[in-house]
Structure 1
Amino acid sequence: MTQLTSQPVSVAARDLGSGDMRYYDFVMAAFVAIILLSNVLGAGKVAQVWLPGVGQWPFGAGILFFPVSYVIGDVLTEVYGYARARRVIWAGTIAVLFMAFMSWVVVALPPAPGWNNQAAYQTIFGQVPRIVLASVCAFWAGEFVNSYVLARMKLLTQGRMLWARTIGSTIAGEGIDSLIFYPLAFLGAAGWTSELVLTVLFTQWALKVAWEVVLTPVTYAIVGFLKRREGIDVYDRGTNFTPFAARL
């Protein structure tokens, strides 16, 4: 299945079995790395950008890179099928949970005498349990919705209009992600009114979908490269779409 061909062969995902794929491991590693780095480096900083006619507009810095995980999720489902994407989503979920646990343990350890960076370390790596729970739940549900919608749309469109599948699945997946994360993380919290939660929710969702639209040519290029290299074009005919499974 991994020979280089000029025209990928259409194949049902269930017929692939557990055979090795040439680039699957690399795509999985990229997905997990972006998820972890987005949570560590991007989640805690509020940046701002100047918009014509609006002025300075604040935004969460993580939005610059977190949506790339949805692009890679689209690539995984489009190229390798829902079952292999499911494994990657679970790998990302477990990695985020371990990162949160490790952050909690390391921050809680008493600092050595003379080490004066505990406060800064706590600010950067301290985890608020409510936000961690919201982040993990939203990521897990959003990614599975994204993968499911894309796989189903591929069957309905018979593999045509990749742009419609990637954007449509992101609208659904990022929508579920935002609907879970912002109310669960901030509704009722100090300084967060219901109106502010809804405003941030819809703003972030719109920006993430816009990123998907902007990155569509990149998605096309990566999907085309991987399909040619793997020599396959996977369709999820007869796939078991439950998220609670590990079998291919």
Structure 2
Amino acid sequence: MKIKDMATLDLTRYPNELLWLLLLTANFLAILIAYKSFGKTGLYIWIPISTILANIQVLKMVDLFSIGVTLGNITYASSFLATDILSENYQKRDAGKAVLIGFFSLFSTVIIMHIALAFKPNDADFIQDSFTRIFGLLPRIALGSLIAYGVAQFHDVWAYDFWKKRFPAAKFIWLRNNASTMLSQLLDTLIFTTIAFWGMVETNVFLEILTTTYLVKWLVAIADTPFIYIAKIMFDRNWINNDS
């Protein structure tokens, strides 16, 4: 494939299910690359990336296996992988710091983008309407995300540490990873979906979003298990650059 062809690569011809797997892989590989390249700092970098992107992507509805779901679940759920790697390879306080970084990044995005929206656009401007459609809804999305993010992420950090103390052996990484993340994802889904979508969509649509959102996050939690083992191997074999 020529470079000029890559620039115009059209992925819309692929089914959503294949694109979902591609997005899943891209997110998890990005975390490992960031971790390999920048160490602990790379995981901190990923947190605001995933938080901001997920809160934009969540506004888009897509069909997966004939079920309507909100986009953004993979990217948002990937932040749990980042904090779990911090909990596994470092300390509880390192994972807690990542959660606070996520709070700050989302709050800053909401404030700065609303100031940007307040500017009167030039007559030649063509992006204001699109900006308004995306970031005009962001405060409610962001409020739901901030509350859900805080409850779920701090629970995840606590739960991972709880299970790690009781099952410290490396062979139980899968247990502490999934036991902490799956319940945390349930808390996140209940809180976020209620704040972000209750009253904005019909009840049956709301329940569908609630159910399918958790199902997708549950699947992502299972899928990220091999990647936390890879991150553990990278750490144990000192393959991490610029670690601190």
- Give the TM-score of the pair, scaled to structure 1: 0.75
Write out the 4+ residue segments of structure 1 that deviate beyond 4 Å after TM superposition: none
C-alpha distance in structure 1 between counterparts of 2:45 and 2:138, whole Å? 26
Aligned to 2:223: 214
User: What letter is aligned with 2:214?
Assistant: W
The answer to whether structure 1 residue 62 and structure 2 residue 72 are counterparts is: yes
Taking a change above 3 Å as real, the CA distance of residues 112 and 59 of structure 1, as seen in their structure-2 partners, is: same
One of 156, 180, 184 as aligned partner of 1:146: 156
Unaligned stretches of 5+ residues in structure 1: 1-21, 232-248
**How far did 1:96 drift?**
0.5
Aligned to 1:179: 190
C-alpha distance in structure 2 between counterparts of 1:25 and 1:116, whole Å? 37
C-alpha distance in structure 2 between counterparts of 1:155 and 1:112, whole Å? 59
8 Å Cα contact 1:149-1:172 kept in structure 2: no
The answer to whether structure 1 residue 94 and structure 2 residue 104 are counterparts is: yes
Aligned to 2:6: none
**How far did 1:230 drift?**
8.4
**How far did 1:196 drift?**
4.0
Alignment: residue pair count = 202
Aligned to 2:214: 205
Unaligned stretches of 5+ residues in structure 2: 1-37
C-alpha distance in structure 2 between counterparts of 1:26 and 1:217, whole Å? 19
C-alpha distance in structure 2 between counterparts of 1:158 and 1:191, whole Å? 44
C-alpha distance in structure 2 between counterparts of 1:67 and 1:228, whole Å? 27
Which protein, 1 or 2, shows the higher relative CO under an 8 Å CA cutoff with sep ≥ 6? 1
Aligned to 1:122: 132
More helix per residue: 2
Partner of 2:63: helix, strand, or coil?
Answer: strand
The answer to whether structure 1 residue 32 and structure 2 residue 48 are counterparts is: yes
- Give the TM-score of the pair, scaled to structure 2: 0.76
Larger radius of gyration: 1
More strand per residue: 1
C-alpha distance in structure 2 between counterparts of 1:163 and 1:86, whole Å? 21
Taking a change above 3 Å as real, the CA distance of residues 38 and 128 of structure 1, as seen in their structure-2 partners, is: closer
